[in-house]
A and B are shown apart, each in its own frame.
Chain A
């Protein structure tokens, strides 16, 4: 099977700092991949390169057979690469409804269907458990609900690859259980790339895990393999826990 996404020698330097340093990475269609690693390992920078939010210093990104290295972010979104932000960046002054309406209306090809936006929005809000908050300005939602709204916006883009950057940060335990269910649901239709510090969540969700350290891939494998890997334990699992 052909990978959905591959990177070759992907690097991004900030001055002298090699935030992402020559990463070769491949993601199979349909899988749930988790990226873990200590704070500052380069995880967010790596997925930002994939989404086009920042430009690489060198290297190449291929999505579905096409070289997208130089493609503007908005075109990647249209190809099906959706990104939800680590730092919540919903539109605080717009209602939850309007936040989700923006991605929904963009994916509608039929520009005239009046009710389609409403239907799509309410569906995405319902899937994330926010249906009763549709009229609330996003800035007035609880932090956990803002995280979920962020996911709802990603969902509404109908992505082929959904990149979630620490989606469970700030969620209550009960919300996390729902979230795990939601990701399983999403994964039926899309490939999921998930940055996550919460190890139980990673272990329950991931088909495979990629471990980042100092801008490089330290290890990659199934949850069991990663759990057993001593390098990983030294670098991450035993030591820091963000």
Chain B
């Protein structure tokens, strides 16, 4: 039952955040940078998980929400000279609006049709980025200068190119989104989302407007993914069309499947795992993608519900 162990649940999540905080001071430079990237991208995975894991809607177009945030933040800084906080908000707003529009159209479909429709929209978005190369930098992308990536509050200034500042900002975003996801999942809204995943017809017959609930989930998911994209642009100083390509629609799906769909911490675990397997494998051989592939296959064979999903099933039933 969901209220069986709220204390344990909160302790676990706060503990993970605290651990990540401490890691900043322990990790060697290279890994500190990698972790900052992983936390920013885990936000992408969490946004994807909200829709895929909890509502059961498999989108193949989430790269467009990530890149809506990426470009929404990046272009306002680059062309309009906006400050970092405004640009971040602009990125999230772009993602939320895009998700609203796409949701209104794509939610007329379900199942395979939904996958195809979202993929087509993402492809259109990708092509638009290339088409408007004069503003977006096309496939070359744009580099956001260090000077534009400084947050000045009053007299103090935070330089996002500083590795610790970058790490802490990534951690802050990750923590906020993790706690938001946890709150959603434990809320009445979250219960309805899971019910839709389990049996949408039945949920309607309990008086729920399932389309409206799914739309709300798409918008929340799109906004979270856009937050990840916006943070990525601002923290790492680069926007490029590759982030809008189909690969970036598949990646969050892989991360979530690996970590455990419909688990709050699965997206982090999956992203972390993928990054490190790739990193370690590429240290040994140039055929590292082969090793990554084998690792994925082994995981799917032995952990069909993802790492945390399997742990929840076998040992820790209370995991949210």
Contact = CB atoms under 8 A, between A and B. Distances in A.
B135 interface: no
A94 B2 CA distance: 10
B293 to A, nearest CB: 31
Interface string B196-228: 001101111111111000000000000000000
Interface string B235-247: 0000000000000
B207 A103 contact: yes
Classify chain B: how many residues form its interface, as a range: 20 to 34
B192 A89 contact: no
Interface string A160-181: 0000000000000000000000
Nearest to A114: B3
A51 B188 CA distance: 24
Nearest to B209: A74
Contact of B188 (A72, A85, A90, A105): A105
Contacts of A98: 1-2, 191, 194
Contacts of B3: 118
A100 B1 CA distance: 12
A102 B206 contact: yes
Contacts of A72: 204, 209
A74 B204 contact: yes
B190 to A, nearest CB: 11
B2 A77 contact: no
B191 A97 contact: no
B17 interface: no
A51 to B, nearest CB: 7
Nearest to A96: B1
Q: Indicate the member of B194, B204, B207 with the most A CB atoms within 10 Å.
A: B207
A111 to B, nearest CB: 8
Contacts of A118: 3
Nearest to A51: B205
A106 B191 contact: no
A134 interface: yes
B195 interface: yes
A73 B191 contact: no
A40 to B, nearest CB: 22
Interface residues of A, number: 31
Interface in B182-196: 188, 191-192, 194-195
Interface string B168-193: 00000000000000000000100110
Interface string A105-135: 1110001000001100000000000000011
Contacts of A89: 199, 201-202
B1 to A, nearest CB: 5
A186 interface: no
A73 B204 contact: yes
A171 to B, nearest CB: 21
B195 A91 contact: yes
A95 B1 contact: yes
Contacts of A92: 198
Given A74-B210, A92-B198, A94-B198, A102 B1 contact: no
A118 B4 CA distance: 12
B206 A77 contact: yes
Nearest to B202: A89
Interface in A54-98: 72-74, 77-78, 83, 85, 89-95, 97-98
A73 B203 CA distance: 10
Given A97-B1, A98-B191, A135-B1, A157 B198 contact: no
A202 interface: no
A94 B195 contact: yes
B277 to A, nearest CB: 30
A153 B207 CA distance: 11
A92 B204 CA distance: 16
Interface of B: 1-4, 188, 191-192, 194-195, 198-199, 201-210
16 contacts: A53-B201, A53-B205, A74-B207, A77-B204, A85-B205, A89-B199, A91-B199, A94-B194, A97-B1, A102-B195, A103-B206, A105-B191, A106-B207, A107-B207, A117-B188, A153-B206
Given A83-B205, A95-B1, 5 more contacts: A85-B202, A89-B202, A102-B208, A105-B188, A111-B188
